[in-house]
Structure 1
Amino acid sequence: MKTVKKLITLDQSLANDLELVAKSLNKTQREVIELALDFYFDYTDGIIADKITDDIKKGTMKVYSSKEVYKKLGIDFEG
């Protein structure tokens, strides 16, 4: 996987916690940050999915059938 370099600034206590956790797990700080972000993004995906579900139930977001989408795009599809 391609990597990119990011420069971030952390609160001192958070930086200390990061160092402690990385040492405790025998991982690099980069690995701990990557794992933490993966967990966070998985968590927020769930929150976003719940919000979309609520919006659909409330009628503030419309769901289109595939037939409607194909028709709107001018795609002739039988199925």
Structure 2
Amino acid sequence: MSTVRLNITLPASVNEDINHYAKELNEKKSHIISSALDMYFDYLDIRVAEKRLNDNEPTISLEELRKELGL
């Protein structure tokens, strides 16, 4: 996996939390942040799916999908 260097601004309290967990778990801060973002993106995926469901987007049945795909 390739990596990218970012400069970000965080509240001091968040930085303190990151430092605390990195020290406690003996992990790099970048690993803590990356893991936290991965988990948050999973949460956002759920929110997007719920939004799309609530937006009443047209849906098709499994049978219609199979027919459309020729299965």
Give the Cα–Cα distance (whole angstroms) in 1 for the partners of residues 10 and 36 of structure 2. Answer: 14
Count of paired positions: 65
AA aligned opposite 1:52: R
Counterpart of 1:62 in structure 2 is 58
TM-score by length of 1: 0.72
TM-score by structure 2 length?
A: 0.79
1:10 equivalent in alignment to 2:10 = yes
Which consecutive unaligned segments of at least 5 residues does structure 2 have?
A: none
Q: Over aligned residues, Cα RMSD in angstroms?
A: 1.7
Which structure has the greater CA radius of gyration? 1
Percent identity at matched positions? 38
User: Displaced runs of 4+ in structure 1, greater than 6 A?
Assistant: none
Q: Unpaired runs of 5+ in structure 1?
A: 68-77
* Aligned counterparts of 2:59 and 2:2: Cα–Cα separation in 1: 36
